[in-house]
Amino acid sequence: MAKGFDRQKNILDFTLSSLLRRKWKNLALASVYTLVVFLLASVMFFSYAIKREASILLANAPEITVQRLLAGRHSPVPLAYLDRIKDIAGVQAIRGRLWGYYFDPVVGANYTLVVPESGAPENGTIRVGAGVARARSLLAGDMIEFKTAAGDILELEAREFFSADSELVSSDLVLLSADDFLAISGGAADMVTDIAVGVRNPRELATVAEKIAARLPDTRVILREEILRTYDAVFNWRGGLLVIILAGAMLAFIILAWEKASGLGPEERREIGILKAIGWETSDVLLMKFWEGMAVSLSSFFFGLLLAYIHVFTAGSGLFAPVLKGWSVLLPEFRLVPYIDAAQVAALFFLTVVPYSVATIIPAWRASIVDPDSVMR
């Protein structure tokens, strides 16, 4: 047992010396390998954490949302529609939601205006998200001007702020009273933006949705399940940017593995020939190549994984955040809850480390079964 362990250590010593003889080449190889793992793991960590957090948060979203469509566009819903829904069997709760967008020309940012069902701010006051406060450099008691639908200026006092911890859902929110909302949006008092419906039995959701659609044919019915599925599909590998990142990383990796699998250089072949000539067995040569592959791939994998974790969960996903923020002025700053899927990490390990190690061994085996004399010549 101890003898076998010593043999492994001796071969590993020789392998490391061999790698150090070509240290710049191997260092470049390990750097590219680390970069590939870093990119793949970053995408994996980022998309999984967002999907997981979205699924936890949006499990509390309305079970059914009913929108009215007019000429293919969203349109306010008359309050009379609520009466036509509330007597459907299985409907437990129903409320009209008042919400919309406001473009603030002062800073060029889009806000989401929401009128809460209960605990709405008093007329003339608002509660704002941390992103809005940042964009407007607001302190408690500061006033923000909103342009009303009639063209007047309405000044509202920022009295309360959402916590920075809740920025993933509240960054651009402006909570205000129904009167102020109607003044800014120009909506009618007998209209709401859309309708949120609660259903007693989750198994009746589809039936209730069908009944709503039959009673109100000009509406679109969105189930909570669809909301959750949307976020599950958001960072799908078919998303434009993800395809580019993944394709680039995979191509780089294929080139790496191909370079290894396509054969050894004359120097490496001569080295194997000499080793065979001085008495190394084929199994020793294969073991040396196995350690060589493992030294590069394992250290690169671990290093890439660590860097990806730091990038996504402690450094604010600096590589992806600019794309998500895009041209927006109001920039949500959120720290993702570090949800990690161990199965995905294992899959990444088997997709990167194993093929590379195999690709290293095959050409070494081909070189080591040839007569040492012919290899050295």
Q: Which of residues 101-160 bind another protein (CB under 8 A)?
A: 101, 109-110, 112, 114, 116-119, 129, 131
Residue with smaller CB distance to another protein, 37 or 367: 37
Q: Which of residues 171-230 bind another protein (CB under 8 A)?
A: 171-173, 175, 194, 196, 209-210, 212-213, 216-223, 226-227, 229-230
Cβ at position 318, least distance to another protein in Å: 15
Q: How far apart are CA 351 and CA 304, in angstroms?
A: 14
Q: How far apart are CA 140 and CA 128, in angstroms?
A: 10
Tokens of 313: 């969960």
Considering all CA atoms of the chain, what is the largest pairwise distance in Å, rounded to the nearest integer?
Answer: 95
| Whole-number Cα distances in Å, 174 to 121, 160, 178, 198, 334 | 10, 10, 12, 25, 18
Q: Which of residues 238-257 bind another protein (CB under 8 A)?
A: 238-242
Q: Is residue 16 within the footprint of another protein (CB under 8 A)?
A: yes
Residue with smaller CB distance to another protein, 236 or 262: 236
Cβ atoms of 138 and 300 within 8 Å: the answer is no
Residue with smaller CB distance to another protein, 83 or 226: 226
Cβ at position 342, least distance to another protein in Å: 7
Cβ at position 259, least distance to another protein in Å: 23
Q: How far apart are CA 173 and CA 164, in angstroms?
A: 12
Q: Is residue 360 within the footprint of another protein (CB under 8 A)?
A: no
Size of the site for another protein (CB under 8 A): 102
Task: Single out the residue of 332, 355, 363, 372 in contact with another protein (rule: CB under 8 A).
Answer: 332
Q: Is residue 327 within the footprint of another protein (CB under 8 A)?
A: yes
Q: Which of residues 53-112 bind another protein (CB under 8 A)?
A: 53-54, 56-58, 60-62, 65-67, 69, 72-74, 95, 97, 101, 109-110, 112
Q: Are strands 109-115 and 173-175 parallel, antiparallel or unpaired?
A: parallel
Residue with smaller CB distance to another protein, 60 or 137: 60
Q: Is residue 338 within the footprint of another protein (CB under 8 A)?
A: yes
Q: Is residue 343 within the footprint of another protein (CB under 8 A)?
A: no
Cβ at position 183, least distance to another protein in Å: 20
DSSP secondary structure of 49-70: HHHHHHHHHGGGS-SEEEEEEE
Q: Which of residues 278-297 bind another protein (CB under 8 A)?
A: 295
Cβ atoms of 64 and 209 within 8 Å: the answer is yes
Which residue, 140, 137, 175, is CA-closest to 158?
Answer: 140
Pure H helices in the chain: 2-21, 23-57, 80-86, 130-136, 167-170, 178-185, 205-215, 224-234, 240-261, 266-277, 282-309, 321-325, 342-368, 372-376
Residue with smaller CB distance to another protein, 223 or 257: 223
Cβ at position 38, least distance to another protein in Å: 13
Cβ atoms of 157 and 126 within 8 Å: the answer is yes
Cβ at position 238, least distance to another protein in Å: 6
| Whole-number Cα distances in Å, 362 to 253, 262, 264, 289, 321 | 17, 9, 10, 9, 41
Residue with smaller CB distance to another protein, 74 or 366: 74
